[in-house]
Amino acid sequence: MNNPSLLRIAVQKSGRLYEDSVHLLKECGIDLRNVKDRLRTVSENFPIEVFFLRDDDIPEYVEDGVADIGIVGQNVLGEKDRKVNTIEQLGFGKCRLSIAIPKAMPYAGVASLQGMRIATSYPVLVGDFLKRNNITASIHEISGSVEIAPGIGLSDIVADLVSSGGTLFMNGLKEVETILDSQAVLIASNSLDVERKIILEKLLFRIRAVKKANKSKYILLNAPNDKLPQILALLPGMRSPTVLPLAESGWSSVHTVLNEQEFWEKIEKLKEVGAEGILVIPIEKLVL
């Protein structure tokens, strides 16, 4: 029997999304013990039950309401075309579905794909791409090790998931087109009851706080008071930086939060205008 007061979340059982999915839930303060080799587990401190499944099955389970929410790659979601809501991009599991061809093969844009035999695990996404570009080609669906297909004569080219491109390179292939940019997303069933919607809101609040924190750093630095105006001009802060006097007269300590993207550039500029003893601290949660 389902316990109506638990939010059931489907995550990948093992594979590239497993670690990051479980880590995200743990960062949200959700206690998950003995997750290794379990098919399901209930948290002891948050009303959530985790189902561990193959990633390909997750959209279907969520559409059917067997799970309330799930974590899955946009690539799987696009391929499966299930009626579920995408609620939040999670920032991990980043990859792209790309077309790759043997290194020596000439390429002059999508028209070069005409008549090719393409091996892929994503026939729907690849088929849509070909249709959009008015290309006729034959798609050979295979479930794994797509990158070796041209080498063994199964296909001319491939459409496969790529992150660094290393696997393609090692198999003598080069990437020529991106079909889809993908990352892990949180999906939800269309038919959540009120109780579960409330739990989902709580979970989302925590996920967003974790995401913001991961993107930010807490900065502490010392500065001579006469340099403070230039230093403060460089710092956005949440409202404004905190400035506290140091024991040594004429000096202050400045505290603020910096965005990861602008971080290195700002640190260099801060040093140039006289900041010293710059301390950078990771932030665990950030609630705005």
Options 43, 55, 63, 84; binder of ligand ATP; rule CB under 6 A: 55
**Token pair belonging to 226:** 């006469």
* E strands, 128-275, in order: 138-141, 157-162, 173-182, 184-188, 216-224, 242-245, 251-259
Name the segment binding ligand ATP (CB under 6 A); options: 10-18, 187-195, 210-218, 242-250. 10-18
Contact 204, 88 (CB under 8 A): yes
Q: Which does 75 bind (CB under 5 to 8 A by kind): Zn ion, ligand ATP, none?
A: ligand ATP
C-beta of 72 vs 228, nearer to ligand ATP: 72
Contact 275, 227 (CB under 8 A): yes
Options 43, 171, 182, 252; binder of ligand ATP; rule CB under 6 A: 182
Within residues 95-134, the interface with ligand ATP by CB under 6 A covers: 95
- Regarding 56 and contact with ligand ATP (CB under 6 A), the answer is yes
Q: What is d(CA 243, CA 239) in angstroms, rounded to the nearest whole number? A: 12
- Regarding 70 and contact with ligand ATP (CB under 6 A), the answer is no
Binding residues with ligand ATP: total (CB under 6 A): 16
Name the segment binding ligand ATP (CB under 6 A); options: 9-17, 146-154, 193-201, 234-242. 9-17
Task: Give kind and range of the element (H or E) at residue 206.
Answer: helix 194-214
Options 85, 163, 190, 240; binder of ligand ATP; rule CB under 6 A: 163
- Angle, CA 276 vertex, CA 271 and CA 281 arms, to 5°: 95
Name the segment binding ligand ATP (CB under 6 A); options: 13-21, 170-178, 234-242, 266-274. 13-21
* Rg of the Cα atoms in the chain: 25
Q: Residue 204: what are its φ and ψ, rounded to 5°? A: -60, -40
Mark 26-65 with x for binding to Zn ion (rule: CB under 5 A) and - for no binding.
Answer: -----------------------------xx---------
Q: What is d(CA 273, CA 223) in angstroms, rounded to the nearest whole number? A: 9
Q: Which does 120 bind (CB under 5 to 8 A by kind): ligand ATP, Zn ion, none?
A: none
Options 2, 15, 111, 259; binder of ligand ATP; rule CB under 6 A: 15
**Token pair belonging to 212:** 């913001």
Q: Which residue is nearest to ligand ATP (CB)?
A: 73
- Regarding 161 and contact with ligand ATP (CB under 6 A), the answer is yes
- Angle, CA 187 vertex, CA 186 and CA 189 arms, to 5°: 150
C-beta of 73 vs 150, nearer to ligand ATP: 73
Q: Which does 241 bind (CB under 5 to 8 A by kind): Zn ion, ligand ATP, none?
A: none
C-beta of 15 vs 277, nearer to ligand ATP: 15
- Regarding 175 and contact with Zn ion (CB under 5 A), the answer is no
Q: What is d(CA 278, CA 16) in angstroms, rounded to the nearest whole number? A: 36
Residue 117, exposed/middle/buried by CB under 10 A (0-12, 13-18, 19+)? middle
Beta-bridge partners for 139: 118
Contacts of 25 (CB under 8 A, 6+ apart): 9, 11, 32, 43, 48, 50
Q: Which residues bind ligand ATP (CB under 6 A)?
A: 12, 15-17, 54-56, 73, 75-76, 93, 95, 161-163, 182
